[in-house]
Amino acid sequence: MTPTAKPRQLPEPDLEHIDLFDPEFHATDAPHAVWAAMRARAPLHRQVLPDGRAFWSVTRYADACRVLGDHRSFTSERGSLLPQLGQGDVSAGKMLVSTDPPRHGRLRRPLVAPLSVRAVEAWEARVREAVVAFLSPGPDGGVWDVAQRALRLPMAVAGALLGLPERDWDDLVRWTAMAAAPADPAFRTGGQGATLAVAHHQLFAYFSRRLREQRRDDLAEGLLPHLLTAAPDGVPLTEEEALYTCYSLLLGANATTPHTVAGTLLALSAHPDQFARVDADRALIPSLVEEGLRWTSPASSFLRYATADTELSGGRVRAGDAVAVWIGSANRDESVFADPHTFDVGREDNRHIAFGYGPHYCLGAGLARLTFRVLFDEFFRRFAAVEVAGPVRRLRSVFVSGMTRLPVRTPARPART
């Protein structure tokens, strides 16, 4: 079966007046049309904010890999997220996402073995249990909100991995959502700054308390006690380093995984021919997972700062300049992906960078892939289709691409006789 045709061409965007810093812009259908125009006409695009702060945007795959992969030319230690533009980063040198090699390697090493592909295979039964609970509203034939329910799915896995009690999971889901998307009305408490401050205070206070409790519990299990005893290069992690690592792990899981789940199901609803391909050949599920990751690109952007004058497609950035990397754009670069605007569950050579690229490649990629494979395996076992059953509401965030509302019907498969 041939992949779905490319959507019709839209008028060329006016690149002089776009505002990539505006969370509202990313809650519309506009970004992909704008990014396509930028790849063609302005692969190195500069935006100046009303307060004088400025940043470059790179939208081509090669430039994205260059900026993310070359830590010597583009540092993470002045802020790794676009909303932090020009504000510095108090976690620089202490947290995985805001640390360059070789120090980044010291913080990363304690997590490599516990999150390796082989290690996470042992979690399949726990993942399947969480997936079955996530899918439980579907069989009654009614409408259920995939986006809302998906928010808790990664918590059921990450919570068990970290050794966090289930009674705390709902709070942790809410706080990480506030940290990832402080501008979205679904999570905002007052202004964006206030929402982010509340989220950070609650999360760091929580993990500080949990780490203290773990020190007193000789029988504690999970990654928290492992972090407390880890000694990369023979030097134990400080409590502050362990605290930041807990925050990074939880935010990485909770902020992105739900949106890949919801976004892939939305794509399958919009492309029933692709649903039918997987339905006829379940061996396509791993390929569906990779295409879902490319298509949704939930970690939408990352920020780096140039350490020296550097050439990129379209021009040169100066030392000290901020550079935003748009992952969703790189993953639809026409020079890398054939028919990039086509959702193709059989896509070959799918070199997407949804999990990042270079030193900061996502440590949880193996666990995320396992979760998605199990989820779609169970989904296709149970349901004959996925149908959107109401308005979709997109997330207002510069950092995360996703949805806060996706009502669906999932007709159950006829019982076998």
| pTM metric for this prediction | 0.94
Would you give the distance in Å from CA 228 to the centre of its chain? 27
pLDDT exceeds 50 at position 3: no
CA distances from 133 to 12, 130, 312, 324 (A): 44, 5, 47, 38
DSSP-derived letter for residue 383 is B
Residue 2 — pLDDT band, cuts 50, 70, 90? very low
Residue 2: both structure tokens together: 């041939």
Spatial distance between the Cα atoms of 338 and 6, rounded to a whole number of angstroms:
11
Which residue's structure tokens are 């081509």?
Answer: 60
CA torsion sign, 365 to 371 to 374 to 378? negative
Work out the average pLDDT over 394-405: 96
Spatial distance between the Cα atoms of 201 and 84, rounded to a whole number of angstroms:
17
User: Which domains does the chain carry?
Assistant: 36-409 (1.10.630.10)
When the pLDDT of each residue in the chain is averaged and rounded to a whole number, the result is: 92
pLDDT exceeds 70 at position 180: yes
pLDDT exceeds 80 at position 417: no
pLDDT tens digits along 113-154: 999 989 999 999 999 999 999 999 887 778 999 999 999 999
CB 273 within 8 A of CB 303: no
pLDDT tens digits along 237-289: 888 999 999 999 999 889 899 999 999 999 999 999 999 999 999 999 999 99
> Which residues face 197 on adjacent strands?
none
Spatial distance between the Cα atoms of 32 and 34, rounded to a whole number of angstroms:
5
